[in-house]
Amino acid sequence: ELKVEQNPLFLSMQEGKNYTIYCNYSTTSDRLYWYRQDPGKSLESLFVLLSNGAVKQEGRLMASLDTKARLSTLHITAAVHDLSATYFCAVDREGGGADGLTFGKGTHLIIQP
Amino acid sequence: DAGVIQSPRHEVTEMGQEVTLRCKPISGHNSLFWYRQTMMRGLELLIYFNNNVPIDDSGMPEDRFSAKMPNASFSTLKIQPSEPRDSAVYFCASSLRGVRKTQYFGPGTRLLVL
């Protein structure tokens, strides 16, 4: 059974600080997705990481993928309040071609002034 | 682009009633997915279609759940009879099969079964 584990599940941090969210998965898939969800809202795609060593950056968020370690990270630089949300990582269920995603439990991020 | 459209956005029903959730994928997308989100179980894949054909329904919890995709622009998820434990947010997502395969999510249907 494919497992996707995120940590931490809850994170409260101050504006201006840096932090990293970790996502471990149990399959050999080399395709990993990061989504953001605001309270009561839908999921918004942030990054798609397609290969080992892939790094994507958007504003204060940077995601990376190490397929050998089966690990992805989402790094937050100089956090601002607007980044408060729940962040999910997700992996193709079977890896290498099947299309359904298995999600981690999400990291609930609160950024305080 | 209007994005993925779901209806209704909210549904309150009584146990035993039939519930039908509807989804219109993004035009041109050829894969459609139904997910369920609860506090206890998180986000779960229920079923997905490629080119209107159901590929994997192993996530459908019981025979009470059924899904159809009669054409490329419409899908339904039906629960009959509904039970209180079916209360959740149901998301529909669509994607274009290819290297990236990013799934775009609809706004969700918030279902409450009393």
The secondary structure of chain A, three-state, reads: CCCEEEECCEEEEECCCCEEEEEEECCCCCCEEEEEECCCCCEEEEEEECCCCCEEEECCEEEEEECCCCEEEEEECCCCHHHCEEEEEEEECCCECECCEEECCCEEEEEEC
Judged by CB atoms closer than 8 Å, whether chains meet at B91 and A43 is answered as: yes
pLDDT at A80 > cutoff 90: yes
Give yes or no for a contact between A8 and A66, defined as CB atoms under 8 angstroms apart: no
Please measure the distance between the N-terminal and C-terminal CA atoms of chain B and give it in whole angstroms: 36
Residue among B1, B10, B43 with most chain A CBs within 10 A, to mutate = B43
Nearest chain B Cα to A49, which residue? B100
What residues does A91 pair with on adjacent strands? A32, A102
**Tens of pLDDT, residues B74-104:** 999 999 999 999 999 999 999 987 766 789 9
pLDDT at A96 > cutoff 50: no
| Residues in chain B closer than 8 A to A41 (CB atoms) | 107
What residues does B19 pair with on adjacent strands? B79
B22 vs B8: CA distance, rounded Å: 7
Can you tell me the mean pLDDT for A25-45? 91
Can you tell me the mean pLDDT for A58-62? 96
Better-scored residue on pLDDT, B70 or A53? B70
Can you tell me the mean pLDDT for A36-51? 94
Percent of chain A clearing pLDDT 70 (strictly above): 94
What residues does B93 pair with on adjacent strands? B33, B105
